[in-house]
Structure 1
Amino acid sequence: MELFLKIGEGSIQLGLLYALLALGVYITFRILDFPDLTVDGSFTTGSAIAAVMIVHGFSPWLACLGAFAGGLVAGACTGLLHTKGKINGLLSGILMMIALYSINLRILGSPNVSIFGSDMVFDHISPITLMLIIVIAFKLLLDAFLRTDMGLALRATGDNKQMIRSLGANTDTTTIIGVSLSNGLVALSGAFVAQTSTFADATSGIGMIVIGLASVIIGEAIFGAKTVFRATLAVILGSIVYRIVVTAALRIEWFEASDLKLITAVIVIIALVFPAVRSKVKQKGLAKKRSAELLSNIQTAPYSKPTGGEQ
């Protein structure tokens, strides 16, 4: 029992740490319908900026703010490449991700930087408590933003660009803002993760886009996403559920720590296939029910003997 509680606590902590990453991926993947691979680079950018600032004596909260700003800039560059440079969205993210790898090494000055023993935001408060407060705050702020005129334009850009352009909105601006905000949240998540692990590594962002997508897809599949409030809540809960599933899978004897990426891929595949299978089964059930009702109506319908004229 104690082991299960320990696993659950660790999974919740990791889930909350990566919940901001999941919210960022939700903005581009679901709202903007933009395949942004900058995430793998901007996550490391956030952790690198935070680590270097903390090592140089800056406040850990100021370091988190710097990380958020760095993510905003990285996202804005991707948005500009796509909107002004007319480069495909997927390719824009890949180009920025590649560029950020070298930039992150420049920021760090070495493959990794340790911040062990430095002041961090979690020194005087439990990581779960602090991250719960921060995640809820950002969730509510994002919900409020998506209900503003700019937020509605952002959502409309992902649904139908031509329609929102016909109404006079600048889709280039909304795309840049959305991608920028997304990567800002991702970088902030990287800053918090670096402070819990006490180091920043140049390769820490590899596979973050898959983790973010897994959280979004799992959350929507389990909890639904009919409203903005419910969708953002589902993403946060999906991040926690994902971590619980991964932790539980790694406890299986024939799984090793090196199988983490494989487990992640399998979880994403299952999460993608499950809604389609569930919908198909539901449709079959409804069709079977309707067929049974029609057959029952035919059998119970009164039989009228034809008259002489009808014969």
Structure 2
Amino acid sequence: MPGLLQPCERPLMLSQIAFFGAVETGLIYGLVAFGIYISFRVLDFPDLTVDGSFPLGAAVAAVLIIAGWNPWLATGMAIVAGMAAGAVTALLNVKLGILNLLASILTMIALYSVNLRVMGGPNVPLLMQDTVVTWWDSLLPPEYYFLAPVLLFVVVTAIVLVLLWRFMKSEIGLSMRATGANPRMARAQGIATGAMVVLGVALSNGLVGLAGALVAQSQGAADVTMGVGVIVIGLASLIGGEAVISPTSVLRALLACVVGAIIYRLAIAFALNADVLGLGAQDLNLITAILVTLAIVLPGFRTRVQARMTRNKA
């Protein structure tokens, strides 16, 4: 039996590529789940801007890389662009009094045109361009090329997780959490809740912009439609992770985001590659809907079963 990473026959190698490809994508969407955790869980701010800020990050990074920028600087500018998009949504809500959900929809719609302007068309290819993945490719033998982005995204996700964890324990992070938990009490304590909302939504979309930039560099192209359904994927990752790891602390909640994203992508890969299920790429949205439904229902079902077992023991 060949080892897991030992060169082998084509069927097993395809299985390896599918597995590590799902892990790679799961790590990237873990960053999206971080952003959705900040907006939905910390701030209680339903934000659909992510469907626009995701391709915005990809577009900004791709255009700057083609213009000759260092890929890491281009990725940093993608984060800034995502934060700007999030700040617009928050300001529409805080300053103009527009309902948070409607404000995010308005920004998301506007970003479609912005993304077309940034890219100068519907897509930008990155073939033959140096990206953040290029250096990591040189670390491994050619037959293991599919592991290079996995290693890179493990490092990036771990760094972001630690930074977010530390931020949420800081004074500003605690103020942001208080704003989401009870805005009226937070204002009574002298917290500028409006500023916290702007900062939190901007940070959330900055993380989503980072994920979009990494996806574009990993897949070799940025496309204006690549953000469709990102909010659903992020929610599926967040809810699924919370079903596996109880978010009793900030660190556990952040870990749940990553674990949920990886489990979600592995479940998608299994469903699409299992011949016995007869599913294809056209069934992706159906699979997503089923996974999200299960992630929402199963924790409550588990609680009811445990309560019934407790009553029977009594």
Partners of 1:3 and 1:116 lie apart in 2 by 23
Within a 5 Å distance, the mapping from 1:42-191 to structure 2 comes to 42-125=53-136, 126-191=148-213
**Counterpart of 1:85 in 2: which secondary structure?**
coil
Partners of 2:67 and 2:189 lie apart in 1 by 49
Give 1:3 deviation, angstroms.
4.9
| Residue number in structure 2 paired with 1:197 | 219
Paired residue type of 1:284: R
| Residue number in structure 1 paired with 2:5 | none
Gapped regions of structure 2 (runs ≥ 5): 1-11, 137-147
- CA offsets per residue over residues 156-180 of structure 1, 9 Å max, x none? 1111111111111111010110000
Structure 1 residues 2, 223: closer, same or farther in 2, change over 3 A?
Answer: farther
Partners of 1:220 and 1:4 lie apart in 2 by 28
Partners of 1:7 and 1:191 lie apart in 2 by 22
Give 1:128 deviation, angstroms.
1.0
Paired residue type of 2:296: L
Paired residue type of 1:118: Q
| Residue number in structure 1 paired with 2:229 | 207
| Residue number in structure 1 paired with 2:301 | 277
Give 1:18 deviation, angstroms.
1.6
**Counterpart of 1:142 in 2: which secondary structure?**
helix
Partners of 1:285 and 1:155 lie apart in 2 by 35
- CA offsets per residue over residues 23-42 of structure 1, 9 Å max, x none? 11111111111110000000
**Counterpart of 2:124 in 1: which secondary structure?**
strand
Paired residue type of 2:31: L
Partners of 1:32 and 1:221 lie apart in 2 by 20
Partners of 1:7 and 1:286 lie apart in 2 by 42
Partners of 1:240 and 1:120 lie apart in 2 by 23
| Candidates 261, 267, 272, aligned match of 1:250 | 272
Partners of 2:27 and 2:97 lie apart in 1 by 36
Partners of 1:190 and 1:2 lie apart in 2 by 28
Give 1:5 deviation, angstroms.
3.4
| Residue number in structure 1 paired with 2:291 | 267
Give 1:278 deviation, angstroms.
0.9
Give 1:4 deviation, angstroms.
4.2
| Residue number in structure 2 paired with 1:216 | 238
| Residue number in structure 1 paired with 2:33 | 22
